[in-house]
Amino acid sequence: MKRILAIEYPELALEWIDNDISPMDVTVGSHKKIRWKGRCGHEWVAIVKNRVNGSGCPYCSGNKVLKGFNDIETLFPDVASEWSEENYPLTPDRVTAKCNKKVKWCCSYGHSWEARISDRTDGHGCPVCEQNSRIIRFSDVGIVGVSFDMLSIQFSDENQISIDAASGSLRKMYLWKCGSCGEDFRASVGYMLKGAVCPACRKEVSKRNYESMLEERKDLRARRFRLPPLAFEYYAYQEGLQFFKDDDSIIGIPFQYFLPKHRTAIEFSEQRDCSKQHRRRKGVVNDLCLRTKTKMIRILDSTEGSYKDCLCISRVDDSYEGISEALQALFGILHIDADIDVERDIESIKCHLRH
């Protein structure tokens, strides 16, 4: 009896996205490469059997690099600042903190050396500077702009020495307790003097940055595919332009918008419109419009190619200005002199949507 993935591992089926087959169509031992989206929000491709055996998100595990999330430039900016230009074209935003690759480094004193990336993120620094390091007394005046009181509070009692007796070597690690989150972590005196942040807080900051990036992309998609038709509706109401939504009385296929006075159909591009299937469907709709003497106007995404047997208005880009120019052209074809400025009217457009 076949062991179906969706039945035996429903939690994996929930991470199944945008694939040509269903999780009901594959077995738990399948070697098919499938696209997944984890609860973390990351997307990746992996073999079904490997997922069943426990493999997860390669970005969260540090096996693959995701710029802005787990690269050393994001997580360890101090380490990345010592990245040698001799490593080019490899850059610190293209490697993870766990990478064991040996690369070249150059410290602020001009010393050059070679070391594994993982060793650097574990706290190992310039060997020349370490050799020349001395005992640093934290109570000395003018060492670094980090307060003695702040560091002494974070210095753990489990170190079994006083803070002013700690070595300034970047290689010597001590236990600290983060003053923000309360987590224990290990770090060298050198990195603490530079104002190092505990790994838990650093990870949380990276997570917030990543979530912020996802939100920005979400806003961009909304602006790209949802805002243009909503803005059209708003300005149509402002100009007293009558239209019907999803009207199928003309050709048997619903138009996104139909203007009876102008006998004109209006279609805005959607996120899925670039597939061959959707382009063929639009070609059929255009042909039916031609036969029924119905004008078809298509407002296209900036990346979408034009169509035959219809009027096409291509947006220059997804900015408010680009959307405004496309709508201005649309109303111009309808011989309506509309005052259109999406950026100026964005709050009114949103209010119109809510009502």
pLDDT at position 114: 93
Which band of pLDDT confidence, cut at 50, 70 and 90, is reported for residue 124?
confident
Share the mean pLDDT of the chain: 81
- What is the tens place of the pLDDT at every residue in 249-277? 888 889 999 999 999 999 998 755 567 77
Answer whether residue 232 shows pLDDT above 90. Answer: yes
Beta strand pairing call for 311-314 and 295-300: parallel
Tokens of 329: 């052209």
Mean pLDDT value across residues 71-90? 89
Three-class SS state of 314: strand
Cα separation, 285 vs 350, whole angstroms: 31
Tokens of 66: 């995701």
pLDDT at position 354: 60
Mean pLDDT value across residues 225-231? 82
Angle between helices 342-354 and 227-238 (to 10 degrees): 90
Three-class SS state of 6: helix
| Concatenated DSSP letters of 7-69 | HH-HHHHTTB-S-SS-TTSSBTT---EEEEE-TTS-EEEEEHHHHHTT---TTTTTSS--TTT
- What is the tens place of the pLDDT at every residue in 18-30? 778 888 888 888 8
Cα separation, 244 vs 262, whole angstroms: 12
Residue 300's φ and ψ, nearest 5 degrees, are -100, 150
Tokens of 103: 């690369």
Question: Does the predicted TM-score (pTM) go above 0.75?
Answer: no
Answer whether residue 151 shows pLDDT above 80. Answer: no
Cα separation, 117 vs 100, whole angstroms: 6
